[in-house]
Amino acid sequence: MALLSEELKAWIGREAHYPAREELGRASIRYFALALGDDNPLYVDDGYAREAGYPSLIAPPTLICETCQYAHRPPDEDGYIGHQWKLPVDNCRLIRAGNEYEFMRPVLPTDRISVTWTLEDIIERGRSGGGTQLFVSSVARFRDAAGELVAVNRETIVYQPLA
Amino acid sequence: MIRPTKTLQDILSGEKLPALEHTFTLVDLVLYGAATWDWNRMHYDIEHTKRLNLRAPVIDGQEFGAFFARAALEWAGPRALVKRLAMRMKAMAFAGDTLRAEGEVERIRDGAVVLTQRLTCGERLVAEATTELRLP
């Protein structure tokens, strides 16, 4: 049976918007750098960052693409609060295939970052072991308080039917 | 005084980046989950991952992006900016695994340097990335 039903195709083009709830904040930046074991002074030292040409300390580039700070709701049964489509697909394992990030400028602790997710496409492809699986492509656009684009994250998740 | 930043004139095609290696402990996974507001039990709950037939909590694949970016920026210096980073997942990695990021300059294009990067756990390829940096 085809996985890509008409019901599922109707999801293509859907959007979900998460408005900024606060500034990104110095604590979020320092915490992220600590978690990575990254001692780059650009992420904690204003003086160093200014000397390098930035208005203040900056966030590690991938932070805003990785954090779920934009979300504000209780964790689901698996503990997750970030964006997910919750597509009507049963008995599938979700596997991250890849991410493509594009960065327009460094993000500052004072930035208020809103996120809009768009479900761009769903493709059904054959699997090497037989059967098919779904490739779900989404794009997240990150904008500052002025509405300027600061980063884009294109993400592909594979929905693989469980045996 | 800040560290120097590489310029396009400093760089040779094929030049290798210093390897970046880290053993991801369960504490590291908990730290990363908390720092990214991602409390998915896959990344710390040992009983939960056993039920999913996984050998240990799974390192969040998105963290590989941060690791690739860190390796690239430590090499290039503080005034370098990541313009693009495209990564492809090849295998899962787990709490306790030691991951090693290696890479080299693939080419210089339109004033930017394009790197090819790999993340491995021993002989196992975990992820690959193409990373484009803008240099001053």
| Chain A residues touching chain B at CB-CB below 8 Å | 28, 31-32, 34-38, 40-42, 48-49, 51-53, 60-63, 65-69, 71, 75, 78-82, 95-103, 105-106
What is the domain extent for residue B114?
8-25+59-134
Average pLDDT over every residue of B31-54: 95
Task: Return the CATH number of A6-161, one of 3.10.129.10, 1.20.120.790, 3.40.50.300, 3.40.640.10.
Answer: 3.10.129.10
- The parts of chain A modelled with pLDDT lower than 50 are none
pLDDT score recorded for residue B109: 86
Chain B residues with CB-CB distance to A under 8 A?
1-2, 5, 22, 28, 31-32, 34-42, 45, 60-63, 65-67, 69-70, 73-74, 78-79, 81-89, 136
Rounded-to-integer distance, Cα A39 and Cα A86, Å: 37
Helices (H), chain A: 6-9, 26-36, 46-51, 63-66
**E strand or H helix at A141, and its extent?**
strand A132-143
Report which DSSP code applies to B65: H
Domain boundaries, chain A: 6-161
The yes-or-no verdict on residue B1 having pLDDT over 90 is no
pTM over 0.80: yes
**Residue B117's closest CA among B56, B51, B78, B65?**
B65
pLDDT confidence of residue A3: 87
User: Per the domain annotation, does B53 fall within a domain?
Assistant: no
CA angle centred on A80, ends A76 and A81, rounded to 5°: 85
Provide the CATH number for the domain around residue B85: 3.10.129.10
Question: Per residue in A45-56, pLDDT tens?
Answer: 999 999 999 999
Q: What is the rounded CA–CA span in Å between residue A68 and residue A142?
A: 12
Number of structural domains (chain B) is: 1
ipTM for this prediction: 0.96
Query: What's the pLDDT tens digit per position in B74-110?
Result: 999 999 999 999 999 999 999 999 999 999 999 998 8
Mean pLDDT of B100-125: 96
Say what the pLDDT of residue A90 is. 86
Query: Residue B17 above 90 pLDDT?
Result: yes
Q: Is residue B69 part of a domain?
A: yes
* B45 occurs within a structural domain: no
The minimal CB distance from B40 to the residues A80, A102, A103 is found for: A80
**Mean pLDDT along residues B105-132:** 96
| Interface A-B: count of C-beta contacts within 8 A | 123
**Residue in B closest to A62 by C-alpha:** B66
| Average of per-residue pLDDT across B2-20 | 95
pLDDT score, position A1: 55
DSSP code, position A69: T
Q: What mean pLDDT comes out for the span B107-128?
A: 95
- Is position B40 within any domain? no
Beta carbons within 10 angstroms of residue A132's beta carbon: 16
In B2-123, which ranges are E strands? 20-23, 81-89, 98-109, 112-121
B28 vs B52: which has the higher pLDDT:
B28
What's the CA gap between A106 and A58, in Å, rounded?
A: 6
Tell me the two tokens of residue A30.
């320092």
Question: CA of A97, closest CA in chain B: separation in Å?
Answer: 5
Does residue B100 lie within any of the structural domains?
yes
Q: What band does B21 get if pLDDT is binned at 50, 70 and 90?
A: very high
Rounded mean pLDDT of B44-66?
A: 95
